[in-house]
Amino acid sequence: MHIENIKLINYRNYDKLQIKLNKKLNIFIGNNAQGKTNLLESIYICAFGKSYRAAKEKELIKIDKDKAYIGINVRWDFIDKFIEIKFEKKRPKRIRINKIEIDRMSDLFGNLNVVLFSPEDLKLVKEGPSNRREFLDTEISQIKPKYRYNINRYSKILKQRNNLLKSVQINNNKLKTIEVWDMQLADVGSEIIKERIEFIEKISKISKNIHKNITDGIEELELKYMPSFNIDCELSKKEIKETFIKVLNKNLSKDIEKGTTEFGPHRDDIKININGLDVKTFGSQGQQRTAALSMKLAEVELVKSEIGEYPVLLLDDVLSELDLKRRKFLLSAFKDIQTIITSTEDIDVLNISKEDKKVFYVSKGNIVNV
């Protein structure tokens, strides 16, 4: 798949923009705060329905305007998708696919698949479990849209259970309904856990091979799923559900005391090891960066294996973070898929022919193709 055209109106610092992309390599060059990342963000939003940067959607609308628009033409092997998102300050965003407005966010997933790698992705390795859970949830949702529905449903059930735990501290009679919420939480939670187990198993194999290639076989990367309670990864969804219910029952008194649910997929993590050592604790910054890169590039191959087409690869100002060897590996490994790169400087693009690339210069919300 590849993006053919992007149209922006009153989006961030863009008044009106319409550009045609190359099917392979696209490089956007400019100083900081000129709009390069805004462009990648607009593509990401068309894939996931939300920004990876903005806390509030009204931040996406140009300061002196009331509305903003993103339109992207996506070309698959046999079909075209036209994704439109309209933002207004006084009403929820509206999303249309091929001119038909969708009612559920899950209907957006799978129409455009992207993998984003930015300097922020170092948090995937360096910081807390929430960053790794977000990685899991975002990437599984791309290849299995129902997963995002389950995540949203789980969050709502969890909130209801936690509210009940707090109210039980005041009125013990309400404890009678806890079993209902436990059953629902375990039912949806077991589906999430099973999907995560399968995802980690697949992406671990791919990222291990990529990491070996980047490091000339010196380092071995291993990803291990770390559920919040002890389960055998070979268990069926039904067996995971039964185990989950037992854990909830066993820890009920502690949950009531704390007013929150201590076990479940909302507490899961991924352990990332290089040569058997936890890279978060013992890895150098270079190793941490390479581990994050390997995991992100593994997503590209996994999406291809699951849906039959490569996703669009977005590289937001990361080449400057990589040494020449890793930069060359990255660009050569995915030279045949659509890649969109932002950079503050002219970069080495391995003497790629003019037909296979486009170079754009970005300045104050204006883009010029040279």
Tens-digit pLDDT profile for residues 173-199:
667 789 999 999 999 999 999 999 999
d(CA 343, CA 312): 17
Q: Is 283 annotated as a binding residue?
A: no
The arithmetic mean of pLDDT across residues 144-171, rounded, is: 89
The arithmetic mean of pLDDT across residues 229-233, rounded, is: 90
The arithmetic mean of pLDDT across residues 269-288, rounded, is: 93
The arithmetic mean of pLDDT across residues 130-151, rounded, is: 91
Same structural domain, 125 and 104: no
Q: Is 18 annotated as a binding residue?
A: no
Same structural domain, 26 and 169: no
Same structural domain, 276 and 346: no
Length reported for the chain: 370
Contacts of 229 (CB under 8 A, 6+ apart): 243, 244, 247, 263
**N- to C-terminal Cα distance for the chain?**
24
Same structural domain, 277 and 225: yes
Same structural domain, 338 and 261: no
- Return the H-helix or E-strand segment holding 16: strand 14-20
Same structural domain, 165 and 272: yes
pLDDT band at 116 (very low <50, low <70, confident <90, very high): very high
d(CA 194, CA 144): 13
Same structural domain, 33 and 81: yes
Indicate if the pLDDT at residue 353 is higher than 80. Answer: no
Indicate if the pLDDT at residue 172 is higher than 90. Answer: no
Same structural domain, 140 and 286: yes
d(CA 237, CA 317): 41
Q: Is 36 annotated as a binding residue?
A: yes
Same structural domain, 300 and 321: no
Same structural domain, 246 and 348: no
Which domain range does residue 326 map to?
1-113+310-370
- Return the H-helix or E-strand segment holding 33: none
User: What average pLDDT does the chain have?
Assistant: 90
Q: What is the CATH number of the domain that holds 333?
A: 3.40.50.300
Q: Is 62 annotated as a binding residue?
A: no
Q: What is the CATH number of the domain that holds 278?
A: 1.20.1050.90
Q: Please report the pLDDT score of residue 351 as a whole number.
A: 61
Same structural domain, 300 and 314: no
Indicate if the pLDDT at residue 203 is higher than 60. Answer: yes
Q: Please report the pLDDT score of residue 350 as a whole number.
A: 55
> pLDDT tens for residues 74-88?
998 888 999 999 999
- Domain count for the chain: 2
Q: Is 35 annotated as a binding residue?
A: yes
Q: Is 276 annotated as a binding residue?
A: no
Q: Which of 280, 308, 336 is the last residue of a domain?
A: 308
pLDDT band at 104 (very low <50, low <70, confident <90, very high): confident
Q: Please report the pLDDT score of residue 349 as a whole number.
A: 58
